[in-house]
Structure 1
Amino acid sequence: MSGAIRAVEPAPMVLEPVEPGRARSRGVTSWSGPRYVLRYGLVLWAVLATVGAELAVAAQRGMQWRGDLVWTIDWLPVAFIIVGPVVSGLAAVDTCRLAEGAEHTTRSRLARSPSTAVAATYAGLVGAAHLGVLAAMLIVSAPPVGDPFAFLAVGVQLAILAVFAILGTAIGRFAGPLVGGATAALTALAAVFVASSPTGHIVLLEVGGATIPRVGYRYDGSHLALQLLALVLCAVALVAPRPREGRRIRAVSRRDAALALAAVIALGAICAVPTSKRLSETDAMPDSCALTEGVETCFYAQHQRVAAEFREKLAPIITATREQGFGELLPARAAEASRTLLPQAADPSVAPLYVMPEHLQGVRPTTSEIISGMVSPVHCAQVQQDEPPSEQYWRDLDALTVTWVELVEPDYGASVGYVGARLDADDASEILEGFRTCTYPHF
C-alpha cells in the first residue's frame, strides 16, 4: 500500500427530478441537495465562524445590553462585519466546487439550480446558529419590557444573513473558487460599510449595531416591514440571473435578466422613498421607584440591576446635604434620564440621574458623577446653541458642583485642581434654581 494519501474530490452535484414510484437516479436529487452541501461543503465552517464571532461580540463590554430587549437584539449584528464576508465567501466557493457540471433539469425555478441548495443550506444553518446565540442572549438579558415588533427586527437580521449567502452563490455562479470566494467576501464587507448607515430611507443592511442603551426607543413596524420587503427583492435580483452554459454572464436568459431588472427597479423605488426611522421614540417614564433617605428615586426597569448602586451613593449625598444646611439643593424627586426624555425639562423639581454605558458594564457611579448630572442644565435651550455659554456660567457650574461634592468628600476640590471659591447655601441654591428653571442670567 502506498504511503501517499490521495485527496478525494466530491462528485459534482447533479440535480435530477424523481418521478413518483421511481427509485432515485444516480447523483443527488433536488430534495437532497442541502444534505449534499452539508456533507461536502464548507457550511459548517461558516456556522462555526458565526457562533464564534457573535459570542465574542455578546461578551464584550461586560454584557451591558442585559435587561434591554431592543438593545440586546441590536447588539448582536455588530458581528455581521465578520459574519457577512465569511458567509458570502464560503458560499461562493461551495457554489463553484459543488455545482460544477450540474444540470438544470427541474422545472421549478427554486429548485432548478444547485446554487439554490447552497444558498438554502447556508441561510438555514447560519440563520439557526444566529437564532441560537440570540436566544441565549435573551435568556441572560431577561428583559422586563417587551416590544411588539421585535420579531420583525429578528426577521430582518435573518434576511440579511440569507442575502449574504445568496450574494456568495450569485458571484460563485460566474467565477472560479478562488476569485469567486475573494470577490464575494470583499463585496459583502463593502456592503456592510456602504449599506448599513441610516439615511432617512430604507437601508438594506441597517440593523442598529447598537453600543449605547436603547431605553426610550421602540421598533418602528412599518420601517422594518419595508426593509424586509427590500431584502426579499434584493434576494430575487441576485437569484434570478443563472448562466445556461459555462459561467458566461452573456449566457443569462432574457427572462432571468428581466426578472432581475424588475426586482432591482422595485428595490430602488422602495429605497428612494423617505420613511420613518427604524426606531421611534417612546414617552415611557422610569417607574421602578423607591425612597432614598426620604427622596423618591426612580429608574427604568431595564436598568434596575444598577439602581441599588446609585441609591447607595445617593444616600450619603442626601444626608450630608441636609446636615450641613444645604437642604434647598435637594430635589423633590430624582429620576433616570434617557436619550429621549430629560425629566427636569418637564418638572424643574425633578433631578436627572444618568445611567451611563460604563455603569452597565459594572463601573460604580461616583459622587461627582451623580451631582454633576443633577446640576448641569443640559435641558436648557441656552446651552444648546452653536455659541458656547459665557465664562461666568462655567465658573458658577464648577463652583456649584465642587461645593456640593465637598459636602460628602471634603478633599474633592483639591483632587481635581479646583482653585475657585466655595459657595454658601444661599448662593448655591440661587444658582441651582436658575439652572433648573433655565432662568440663570449668565448663560
Structure 2
Amino acid sequence: MKSFLDLPAAAARLHVGIWSIVIVISVQAFNLFDRDMPWRGEWNWAVDWAGSGLIIIGPLLAGVAAVDGGKMKSERRLPQASLISRPIRAIMGLWLTSAVPAVTAYVLSVGIFLYIADSATVVPRTPALLLILAQASALSAYILLGSVIGRMLGAVVGAPASAVGAVTIYWSLGRGGGDFAPFDVGSATSSLLGLQFSTTYILLQLSYLMAFMAGCLAVHAAINTRFQTPTAAGIAMAITLSSVVPIAMPRFKEHEVSASTCVSVQVTVCVYPEHERFLPDLARDVSIVQQAASQIGIADLLPRVYVERIPGEGIRSLDDQRGRLEIKPNDFSAGKVPIADVVHAIVLPWHCPQLFGENPPPPHFVGDITRIADTLTLLVESKTEPELTVGDARKTVAAINRCES
C-alpha cells in the first residue's frame, strides 16, 4: 500500500510531465471560448472542435515528456517507488505520469464542451464518444513519442525535437483531405449538421494509434541494447510508409436530419433541433419581413413555411413549396442571422436551377432578386416608402418564382 501512496508524491517531485495537466487546461480554456462558442447545440461539432486543441497540446506535451525522458537517459534509471522498480515499469511510469493527468484533464474539458453545447441532437452519439477515446489515445501517443525522443537525445535536444516531431506527425498523419489520417481527431471549424462520424474510420484510427504506441514502447525497450538502432529505424520507416501510402476513406458519412423544431406566428419557421437557439430571432425577423412584403403586395407570392437549409444542400424540389433559411458559418459566432441575409433567403428561389449550375446565373435574374431584397431590407430597417410600385413588385417576384431569366 505504501508503494501506491508514494507514487503520486514521487511523480510530483521527479517528473515535469505531471504538470501536463496545466497545458491541457490552458489550451482547452482558450479553445472553449474561441469565436464565441459557435458549436453550441451540435454534439458532433462540439466534440470535433474540442479535439482541434490537440494540434497545439500534442507538440507541447511531447516536449514536456521529452524532458522526463532525458532525465531517464542521464540517470540511467528513473527513481520511483518500489512498485515500478523494474525497467519496463519505470518506462510505463514515465509515460503514465504525464498521460494520466493530461487525459483526465482533456476528458473533463470535453465534458464541459458537451455540457455547454446542451445539444438536442437526434443524431446517434456513440460515434462521437468513440472519437473522444481516439482523441485521448492520440494525446497519449504524442506523450509516448516525446518520452522516446527525449530518452534517445536527452532533455535539451529532445524537447524541441519532440515538439517538431509531433508537429510533423500531425502534418503527415493528421490531415486527411479525404484519405485516412490516424491523427486527425478534431478539426471542425464549421457546422457538421447532416454529417456523422464514420465508426469504421474511428476504429481504424484506434487500431493505428495502439500500434503506434506499441512501436514507441518497443523502441523504449530496445534503448541501450544492440537492437536500439534497427528498432527505431523500423518504427520510423513504418510511420513514413503509412504517411505516404494514401487510403481513400471519408471521415464522415451523410446522416439524414430534419428541421423539426418550429414556431408558427404569421408564418411557420422551422430549424434543426441543434440550432434551436436561433429560432426566436429567426421567427421574429421572418414575420417582420412578411409584414414588409405586404406593403408592396407580394406577401401572397412568398412561402408560408420556411425551414433551415442544410449546409451544402442543393436545388429544392418543385414539390417542396417551403422556403429556405440559411445559417452561415459566421452566424454561429454571432448567434444571430443578419436581417439582410434573412430577406435574401426569403426572396431567393431555391428551386431554380440557375442558382446551382456551373455557370453563374444571368445578371438580369440576379438583378431582380437583389432589387426585391433591397426593397424589403429598406422597408424593414428604415421604414421608408418603397420606390417599387405594387404592380412592378408583383411582376418581378412572379418572374423570379418562375425562374425566368
TM-score by length of structure 2 reads 0.86
Indicate the residue corresponding to 1:120 in structure 2.
Answer: 96
What SS does structure 1 have at the residue aligned with 2:253?
strand
Indicate the residue corresponding to 2:376 in structure 1.
Answer: 404
Structural mapping, 1:97-116, within 5 Å: 97-98=71-72, 100-102=75-77, 112=88, 114-116=90-92
Contact 2:262 2:268 in 1 (8 A): yes
The separation in 2 between residues aligned to 1:156 and 1:379, in whole angstroms, is 41
Indicate the residue corresponding to 1:8 in structure 2.
Answer: none
Shift of 1:264: 5.3
Amino acid at match of 2:105: A
Q: Work out whether 1:321 is the aligned partner of 2:314.
A: no
The separation in 1 between residues aligned to 2:236 and 2:175, in whole angstroms, is 25
The separation in 1 between residues aligned to 2:369 and 2:186, in whole angstroms, is 36
Q: Work out whether 1:424 is the aligned partner of 2:402.
A: no
Contact 1:336 1:355 in 2 (8 A): yes
Q: Deviations over 1:206-244 (max 9, x none)?
A: 123212112211221111111111111121222212365
Amino acid at match of 1:112: I
The separation in 2 between residues aligned to 1:210 and 1:397, in whole angstroms, is 33
Amino acid at match of 2:272: Y
Aligned residue among 55, 59, 62 for 1:88: 62
The separation in 2 between residues aligned to 1:299 and 1:384, in whole angstroms, is 23
What SS does structure 2 have at the residue aligned with 1:274?
coil
Indicate the residue corresponding to 1:286 in structure 2.
Answer: 259
Percent of matched pairs sharing the same residue: 22
Indicate the residue corresponding to 1:20 in structure 2.
Answer: none
Shift of 1:72: 0.7
Contact 1:237 1:261 in 2 (8 A): no
Q: Deviations over 1:376-401 (max 9, x none)?
A: 35665433444333222332222122
Indicate the residue corresponding to 1:216 in structure 2.
Answer: 194
Q: Deviations over 1:305-334 (max 9, x none)?
A: 121011111122122323542123320310
Aligned residue among 389, 405, 423 for 2:361: 389
For the pair shown, which has the larger CA radius of gyration, 1 or 2? 1
Structural mapping, 1:31-42, within 5 Å: 36-42=10-16
Q: Work out whether 1:62 is the aligned partner of 2:36.
A: yes
Shift of 1:137: 1.6
The separation in 1 between residues aligned to 2:222 and 2:335, in whole angstroms, is 61
Shift of 1:165: 0.4
Question: Which range moves more in the overlay, 278-287 or 314-323?
Answer: 314-323
Indicate the residue corresponding to 1:376 in structure 2.
Answer: 348
Amino acid at match of 1:102: R
Aligned residue among 130, 136, 141 for 1:158: 136
What SS does structure 1 have at the residue aligned with 2:269?
strand
Pair 361,245 (structure 1): closer, same or farther in 2 beyond 3 Å: closer
Structural mapping, 1:271-282, within 5 Å: 272-275=246-249, 277-282=250-255
Pair 85,259 (structure 1): closer, same or farther in 2 beyond 3 Å: closer
The separation in 1 between residues aligned to 2:152 and 2:172, in whole angstroms, is 24
The separation in 2 between residues aligned to 1:180 and 1:253, in whole angstroms, is 17
Indicate the residue corresponding to 2:105 in structure 1.
Answer: 129
Q: Work out whether 1:433 is the aligned partner of 2:401.
A: yes
Contact 1:119 1:166 in 2 (8 A): yes
Contact 2:15 2:97 in 1 (8 A): no
What SS does structure 2 have at the residue aligned with 1:297?
strand
The separation in 2 between residues aligned to 1:346 and 1:130, in whole angstroms, is 48
Structural mapping, 1:323-342, within 5 Å: 323-341=295-313
Pair 423,226 (structure 1): closer, same or farther in 2 beyond 3 Å: farther
Contact 1:399 1:421 in 2 (8 A): no
What SS does structure 2 have at the residue aligned with 1:102?
coil
Pair 278,380 (structure 1): closer, same or farther in 2 beyond 3 Å: farther
Indicate the residue corresponding to 1:230 in structure 2.
Answer: 208
Indicate the residue corresponding to 1:355 in structure 2.
Answer: 327
Aligned residues: 398
Pair 383,119 (structure 1): closer, same or farther in 2 beyond 3 Å: same
Q: Deviations over 1:146-187 (max 9, x none)?
A: 523121110110011011101101211210111000100111
**Bigger share in helix:** 2
Aligned residue among 301, 304, 317 for 2:276: 304
Amino acid at match of 2:19: W
Q: Deviations over 1:108-164 (max 9, x none)?
A: 9x9616332222222221110001111112112111125231211101100110111
The separation in 2 between residues aligned to 1:216 and 1:341, in whole angstroms, is 10
The separation in 1 between residues aligned to 2:384 and 2:72, in whole angstroms, is 69
Contact 1:202 1:272 in 2 (8 A): yes
Shift of 1:431: 2.8
| Runs of at least 5 residues in structure 2 that lack an aligned partner in the other structure | none
Contact 2:11 2:18 in 1 (8 A): no
Q: Deviations over 1:71-98 (max 9, x none)?
A: 1101112222221111000101111114
Shift of 1:421: 9.8
Amino acid at match of 2:18: L
Contact 1:337 1:354 in 2 (8 A): yes
Pair 136,242 (structure 1): closer, same or farther in 2 beyond 3 Å: closer
Q: Work out whether 1:144 is the aligned partner of 2:112.
A: no
Indicate the residue corresponding to 1:181 in structure 2.
Answer: 159
TM-score by length of structure 1 reads 0.79
What SS does structure 2 have at the residue aligned with 1:240?
helix
What SS does structure 2 have at the residue aligned with 1:160?
helix
